[in-house]
Amino acid sequence: MWLTFQPLGWLSFASLVTGLFDARIDSRVVGDIRVSVQKGRVLGNDYFKDAIAELTGRRVRERMRGPKAKMV
pLDDT tens per residue across span 6-57? 555 555 666 666 666 667 778 898 899 899 889 888 888 999 999 999 999 9
The dihedral built from the CA positions of residue 27, 20, 17 and 43, taken in this order, carries a sign that is: positive
Question: In the prediction, which pLDDT does 65 show?
Answer: 83
Cα–Cα distance measured from residue 41 to residue 60, given in angstroms and rounded to the nearest whole number: 6
Q: Closest Cα partner for 44 from 61, 66, 67?
A: 61
pLDDT tens per residue across span 49-68? 999 999 999 888 888 888 88
